[in-house]
Structure 1
Amino acid sequence: MLAPRLARIILMGALLSFLCITMLNVLSAGLGAGLDLAALACVLAIFALQLRHSRPQAHRAPWREKVAALGAQALLTYLPIFVFKAQWGGMAGFLAGSLLLLLPSRLGWALYAAVGLSMALPPAFEGRPFLDSFYLGQSTLLTGLVVFGLTRLTELVRVLHDTRGELARMAVTKERLRFSRDLHDLLGYSLSAITLKTELIHRLVPTHPQRALTEIHDVLAISRQSLADVRTVASGLRDMSLVEEVANAEGLLTAAEVNVRVEMHAGAMSQQVSTVLAAVLREAITNLLRHSKADTCLIETVQENGRVRMRVENNGVDPDYRDPSAHSGSGLGNLTTRMHEIGGELRTDTGPDHTFRLVAEAPAFPERIPSGGDAVVPEPREPAA
């Protein structure tokens, strides 16, 4: 809060300086102690009103309240002129500045100019030279601009300070969401695979120990990959390969005794698109294993007219099935956000015979790709079905 406080101190210093100049002018006239005290009382009242007008969001006050405050300030500005003459003219600058601060732009500037012109009259009534009238009018307009400018600057400094704090909080929140989203996308698949293979190992140990040993090696490999994924999320480097993810999904589903059919005609695409589609495929396979009793699955990826479309379809959807684990996740929501970031879309629907279909479609090379995401993924070879 140092910057807003400093701006406020500067504004207060400027206002007090103008008040002191007016008081010095009044005291130099030698009008007597009684009138000097009256002038001091008027100066303090104007100062209080000006602080009210220079506070943040003062222009949002009700119209009646603003008119009453400006009326009081106008009386305290013009009535003492009959007693203190031109020596009181400096107070008109505060009124001019307040008009600019509180009133609509067109009306405020018109009245601001009128106040400046009106201050040319007191020296004329006293029989002073024209230069004195010009000086008092010009100094009134200048004081009004200073009051208006410093008040607006103080408010802008406060708004800028608050905005910087809000941007910092938004950046922290965005990073937390990124970390949560990436952790879910990367680890949800791996942990589901570990759970599946561990259950398979539990069944195989009594009757097929050698195959169980092979599955244990796979679990170790997946665990190491999960550790690497966690480090990847922490470092912000989240590149994945759609081709590798399709191969991993095919192997995992085969181990889960799901008949897999893969059709890969994805063509070349940017690394960013490959990463997002790989994350979508991971979530689709995770949902298949956790929320269905599928025995067939189709993974199809094609590219047409510069757009890549991936379709994952499986049977075995049980409307009454629910994942018993707590915090089952919000992966599809995360992936919808990711697809929108690359100009794509994600659609899901349930078809006849308890089938579930997920379709992700995006441009192969989005127009706006963050730095480091413009690598090109070559066209993959079609894997064996």
Structure 2
Amino acid sequence: MTRRGKSSGELAEAVRVEGILRRSRDLPAPRMAHVILIVAISCYVGITTLNILNAGVEGRGLAVALASLAAIFALQLSHSRPGARHAPTSRKVLTLGAQVALTYLPLITLKAQWGAMAGFLAGSLLLLLPPRLGWSLYGLVGVSMLVPALLEGMSALFTVYIVQTTLLTGLVTFGLSRLSELVRVLHESRGALTRAAVTRERLRFARDLHDLLGYSLSAIQLKGELIHRLIEAHPAKAKQEIEEVLAISRQSLADVRRVASGYRDMSLEEEIESARSVLSAAEVTAVTDIRLGPVSSPVDTVLATVLREAVTNILRHSRAGHCEISAVEKDGLVTLSVTNDGITEGYRDSSPHSGSGLGNLELRVRAVGGELLVEQAPGGLFRLVACVPADGDEDRESDESADEERVGAAI
């Protein structure tokens, strides 16, 4: 993979992770998700309790029914807890067997008033058993509710209602239990994901620095020791060695810049495709207007760098929902415009001349004869515009040292 493709891919991955983390903040807390599950189960138990009371059950029968309801409620909470499907098989067989007994035995006396409890059993089967077996038994539980309905001589409409209610209760129980677990896992993994991303980037940076600077720093150290020995006896030779050290140090600084920003040899069109993917992953609607002709390599690289920084700022420092990207060439002038509607009040780049800041972008745009404009438009819009000659070229020989000094100071 080329450095350009690798950089675009790494940015897309990093910002995609940023988008996931940002969206996860809108999810309910794990405790709230668990409370919602408990309330839903309690409502089903409450409805069954009201049906039993409405049927006129009294005395010992009522006490047994309420005790059975409490037992089913406790079993369902146990089956719905995170990680319950990983419990030992013996425990799952025991608790499911108890729930089967508490589901079907009261049907003998309570009949249809107890029918909702079969939905909990159906949900527990889905939660605790392998998918193929769980779904098969889930359907069997629903069909089993035809038996008490037929024995009581219920109408076809009420029979369908009992079966449908059982299956629906099972789906709701299963869905809320799994969602509660997923919310908990997501909140736990958010910190781990952030730490993993930081560690991965730290390792990449250390690896690249080792590969690029290991030889250069070793050479500078050796030549420094040589200069120390030659400076009195052979000043001319020492001067020559100093010039070589300066050349190595300038190359090392250029290598640091490549590691830190990776902006060279980039393509605007490839960066636009990456931006579409990144913005889509972050749920930002992107509208693009691309009308480009041939542009020089330095201009292509600078404009791609501007777009990358603009997209990164949108995702990290705004709450944008809509973004417009246009790259148009007219009369030998390429204009790149990035507009978004997510400006955040009070935000200001605290490091305007950092290697990834807008100040450094302005230096790069000016290096190819262009101009960078940043403005806040009415309606909470933020616009970044770069105008660059299509054939602009950077004088790499004459400006290399000054450019490296600027980037080196920023780093």
Question: Is the pair's TM-score, using the shorter chain for normalization, greater than 0.5?
Answer: yes
1:64 to 77, 90, 114: 90
1:111 counterpart = 2:143: no
Deviations 1:190-234 (A, max 9, x none): 211111111221221222112212322333343344344434433
1:83 counterpart = 2:97: no
CA 1:145/1:217 → structure 2, altered by over 3 Å: closer, same or farther? same
State the match for 2:76 in structure 1: 50
Task: Report the 3-state secondary structure (helix = DSSP H, G, I; strand = E; otherwise coil) of the residue aligned with 2:123.
Answer: helix
2:230 to 204, 208, 233: 204
1:21 counterpart = 2:47: yes
Further displaced range: 215-224 or 176-185: 215-224
Structure 2 distance, partners of 1:209, 1:105, is 82
Is contact 1:122–1:133 with CA below 8 Å preserved after alignment?
no
Deviations 1:166-201 (A, max 9, x none): 443332221011111122122222211111111221
Amino acid at match of 1:207: A
Deviations 1:274-328 (A, max 9, x none): xxxxxxxxxxxxxxxxxxxxxxxxxxxxxxxxxxxxxxxxxxxxxxxxxxxxxxx
Percentage identity across aligned positions? 64
2:146 to 111, 120, 126: 120
Structure 2 distance, partners of 1:233, 1:108, is 52
State the match for 1:171 in structure 2: 197
Amino acid at match of 1:100: L
Structure 1 distance, partners of 2:158, 2:187, is 43
Structure 2 distance, partners of 1:177, 1:207, is 44
Is contact 2:126–2:174 with CA below 8 Å preserved after alignment?
yes
1:39 counterpart = 2:52: no
Is contact 1:194–1:219 with CA below 8 Å preserved after alignment?
yes
1:228-247 superposed matches below 5 A = 228-237=254-263
Is contact 1:59–1:101 with CA below 8 Å preserved after alignment?
yes
Is contact 2:28–2:183 with CA below 8 Å preserved after alignment?
no
Measured after TM superposition, the shift of residue 53 of structure 1 is: 1.2
Amino acid at match of 2:256: V
Deviations 1:67-104 (A, max 9, x none): 11111001111222233221111111101111222223
State the match for 1:12 in structure 2: 38
Unaligned runs of 5+ in 1: 240-270, 272-385
1:283-322 superposed matches below 5 A = none
Amino acid at match of 2:83: Q
Unaligned runs of 5+ in 2: 1-26, 266-296, 298-411
Structure 1 distance, partners of 2:125, 2:154, is 28
Amino acid at match of 2:155: P
Deviations 1:135-182 (A, max 9, x none): 212211221122223223333444455555544333222101111112
**Count of equivalent residues:** 240
Amino acid at match of 1:78: Y
2:168 to 137, 142, 161: 142
Structure 2 distance, partners of 1:184, 1:237, is 19
State the match for 2:21 in structure 1: none
State the match for 2:159 in structure 1: 133
State the match for 1:298 in structure 2: none
1:218 counterpart = 2:236: no
Amino acid at match of 1:43: L
Deviations 1:32-63 (A, max 9, x none): 25543432222121111111111223222222
Structure 1 distance, partners of 2:143, 2:81, is 27
RMSD: 2.7
CA 1:63/1:236 → structure 2, altered by over 3 Å: closer, same or farther? same
Further displaced range: 43-52 or 79-88: 79-88
**Which one has the largest radius of gyration?**
1
